[in-house]
Amino acid sequence: MTWEQLVAFNVALLVAIASPGPALLMATHASASRGRAAGVAAGLGLGLMAAIWTMMALLGLAVVFELFPMAYIGAKIAGGAYLLYLACKMWRNASAPANAQTPPAGRAFRQGFLLNLFNPKSVLFAAAVLVAVFPAGLERSRYAELAS
pLDDT tens track for 90-135: 788 777 765 555 567 788 899 889 888 887 677 777 767 766 666 6
Model confidence at 79, in pLDDT bands (50, 70, 90)? Answer: confident
- Is-contact 36 27, C-beta < 8 A? no
Q: What is the pLDDT of residue 40?
A: 92
Distance CA 73, CA 69 (A): 6
Model confidence at 148, in pLDDT bands (50, 70, 90)? Answer: low
Neighbour-count burial for 109-120, b at 16+ CB within 10 Å, e otherwise: bebbbbbbbbbe
- Is-contact 39 27, C-beta < 8 A? yes
Number of domains into which the chain is organized: 1
Residue 143, pLDDT above cutoff 60: no
What are the CA-CA distances from residue 9 to residues 17, 43, 147 (Å)? Answer: 12, 20, 11
Whole-structure pTM over 0.75, yes or no? no
Q: What is the pLDDT of residue 29?
A: 82
Its domain, for residue 111, covers 3-95+103-147
Residue 56, pLDDT above cutoff 90: no
